[in-house]
Amino acid sequence: MIEVRNVSYSYNGKVALENVTFSSGDAFLAIMGPNGSGKTTLIKLIMGLLEQQKGEIKVFGMSPKEARHLIGYMPQRDAIAKHIPIQVKDIVLMGIAAKKFYSKEDIERAKEALEEIDSLHLWNEKFSSLSQGQQQRVLFARALAKNPKMIILDEPFNAVDLPSREKMVEVLKKKREEGTAIVAVVHNINPILHEIDEILLLNKKAIAFGTPKEVLNQENLRKAYGTDVQMIVCEEGYCHPLIGDEHAG
Ligand SMILES: Nc1ncnc2c1ncn2[C@@H]1O[C@H](COP(=O)(O)OP(=O)(O)OP(=O)(O)O)[C@@H](O)[C@H]1O
Ligand SMILES: [Mg+2]
């Protein structure tokens, strides 16, 4: 579903991604790496939100821009201008299409997406008045709204409570079973460890790519996070760095 070959990206000469190559099947892919390791940059390139500088990216065999309409996107919450006076319904509808007038079907579908995450009661609320966790649920619903072929989520569990997180994982699992491809940037892999097929461990370079069993070992994690990573815990044949989904930066 996603082929990334020799992709590099710099912001004004500052390298964010360096020669990244991986090829992900029809899968639930998790992207992990420390703050500033290029995760969001990679996702934006995959969606055609940033212009490619070097290398090649194919999504469902197409260029990122051609495939864009097939992807539902949940941006990192920090990236949303939270002060803009916009209603929840408008945010979710925007996930279906950017247009001025929405059909009855569009509105029904947007309501369904909120309902899927138990948040239909927020329909008329102002986005800025919601708690962080509620905002995350709304952004999650927006990513589901157009019944996309692929859902890309940038730190979906950041600031959400345990019940909300469990609900999100349950919905993702269902979507996965229905054949939707899923890409999720996460800091804490544990909540989805048993759902994911592949992990990309990133620190500007692709440190490792493969199944959780292949990727999650001490050596790879130290390469990605450095030797001063808080703690690496190994159990059931997997290792993971002990970091939450809270943002350090
Ligand atoms: N718009 C921008 N202009 C300049 N530099 C940027 C921009 N966006 C990101 N960067 C830099 O590129 C690098 C990678 O950033 P990116 O947001 O992709 O990392 P990330 O892995 O998503 O980090 P985080 O875990 O904090 O979300 C960082 O050093 C960051 O400062
Ligand atoms: Mg990021």
User: pLDDT tens-digit profile of 134-147?
Assistant: 999 999 999 999 99
Q: Is the CB of 43 under 6 A from ligand 1?
A: no
Task: Please tell me the number of the ligand nearest to residue 31's CA.
Answer: 1
**Which residue puts its alpha carbon closest to atom 9 of ligand 1?**
41
Q: Is the predicted pLDDT of residue 117 greater than 60, yes or no?
A: yes
Single pTM value for the model:
0.92
pLDDT in tens, 157-200: 988 999 999 999 999 999 999 999 999 999 888 889 889 999 99
Highest mean pLDDT among 5-14, 83-92, 124-133, 218-227: 5-14
Neighbours of ion ligand 2 (CB under 5 A): 39-40, 76
What is the number of other CB atoms lying within 10 angstroms of the CB of residue 94?
15
Q: Is the predicted pLDDT of residue 227 greater than 80, yes or no?
A: no
Q: For residue 147, what are the contacts with CB-CB under 8 A and spacing of at least 6?
A: 109
Ligand 1 atom closest to Cα of 43? 18
Residue 218 banded pLDDT, cuts 50, 70, 90? confident
Cα 62 to Cα 3: distance, rounded to the nearest angstrom? 10
Highest mean pLDDT among 73-82, 196-205, 237-246: 196-205
Beta strand 181-185 with 150-154 is parallel
Task: Please tell me the number of the ligand nearest to residue 42's CA.
Answer: 1
Q: Is the CB of 187 under 6 A from ligand 1?
A: no
Mutational pocket test of ligand 1: of 37, 45, 153, 189, the residue with most ligand atoms within 8 Å of the beta carbon: 37
**pLDDT on residue 228:** 64
What are 54's strand-pairing partners?
8
Task: Please tell me the number of the ligand nearest to residue 34's CA.
Answer: 1
Residue 248 banded pLDDT, cuts 50, 70, 90? very low
Cα 76 to Cα 157: distance, rounded to the nearest angstrom? 10
Cα 103 to Cα 179: distance, rounded to the nearest angstrom? 26
Q: Is the CB of 36 under 6 A from ligand 1?
A: yes
Q: Which of 235, 238, 223 is nearest to 34 (CA)?
A: 223
Distances in Å between the alpha carbon of 225 and those of 2, 46, 56, 235, 247? 25, 23, 26, 19, 15
Sheet holding 181-185, edge to edge: 71-74, 150-154, 181-185, 28-32, 198-203, 205-210
The whole-angstrom distance between residue 148's C-alpha and the CA centroid of its chain comes to 14
Ligand 1 atom closest to Cα of 78? 27
- Detail the DSSP E strand segments found in 60-131: 71-74
Q: Is the CB of 11 under 6 A from ligand 1?
A: yes
Q: Are the C-beta atoms of residues 28 and 195 closer than 8 Å to each other? A: yes
Instruction: Calculate ∠ Cα 84-85-90, nearest 5°.
Output: 100
Residue 235 banded pLDDT, cuts 50, 70, 90? confident
Q: Are the C-beta atoms of residues 42 and 17 closer than 8 Å to each other? A: yes
Rounded mean pLDDT of 15-27?
94
In CATH terms, the fold of domain 2-241 is: Rossmann fold (3.40.50)
